[in-house]
Amino acid sequence: MTIKLGVLISGSGTNLQAIIDRIADGSLDATIELVISSRADAYGLMRAEAAGIQTLTIEKNLYDEEFTADRVIAAELRYRGVDYVVMAGYMRMVHAPILEAFPNRVVNLHPALLPSFKGAHGIQDAYDYGVKVTGITVHFADDKYDCGPIIAQRAIAIEEGWSVDELEARIHEMEHDLLPEVLQLLAEDRVHVRENGTVEVAPRG
C-alpha cells in the first residue's frame, strides 16, 4: 500500500531528499503530505518546496512550552491523514500529543548503534570514545530520548586515520539508504512491535 508521511526536520534535509528521491524513482510506496521544520532557516524547507510538498515552520519561541507546539503538530498531521511521522534530523524531542496520536508510528533516525551514544552528538561521541564500530539506528520513538523499539540498524567499521568528518559523511550515506528501506517495510506492513517492545520484521511474501 501507499503510506502517507509527515516529515519533521531541523536542518539541511538530506534524509528528506533521500525519501523524496525514492518516492520519485518508485522504490518507496509513499507520499509526503507535510514537512514541518523547527527552524525557519532549515534548507530542508527549500527541498520540500522544490518537490511541491507543503511545509510548516513551528519554532520554539512561538509557544510557551513544547507540549503546545506538539499539539499543533499532531493536529496538522492528523488533518492530512498521515500514517507515519518521520523524524529526519529533527533536533527536538516529541512529546505525548504526537506519540499518542501516532502510537508506534513515529519513526526516528539516530546516527549511532542504540542504546550506545544517545543524544544530539552520537557521531562525535562515538568517535571520541574510540569505538571501532558504530552505525545508525531506525526506531520507533517513545517518551524517552533515543529509546523505543528498534526497527533496523546498520554498522560501519571506523577505519584508522578517519577524521570525524569522514565518519559523518559515511554515516549519512548509510542513513540515506536505510531510512527509505525501513519506510518501504512499513508500506509493506512487515514491521510489527511485539508485546515485549521488540520489533519483528516479517519476510517478504
d(CA 145, CA 160): 31
121 tagged catalytic:
no
Count of C-beta atoms within a 10 Å radius of residue 11: 18
Helix (H, G, I), strand (E, B) or coil at 198: coil
Per the CB < 8 A criterion, the answer to whether 137 and 129 are in contact is no
Q: Which of 95, 110, 121, 176 is catalytic?
A: 110
List 201's β-bridge partners, or say none. 191
User: What is the end-to-end Cα distance of the chain in Å, rounded?
Assistant: 14
3-class SS of residue 112 = coil
CA 48 to CA 51: how far, in whole Å?
A: 5
Are the C-beta atoms of residues 106 and 98 closer than 8 Å to each other? yes
CA neighbor of 102 nearest in space, from 4, 202, 203, 2: 4
Residues with a catalytic annotation lie at 110
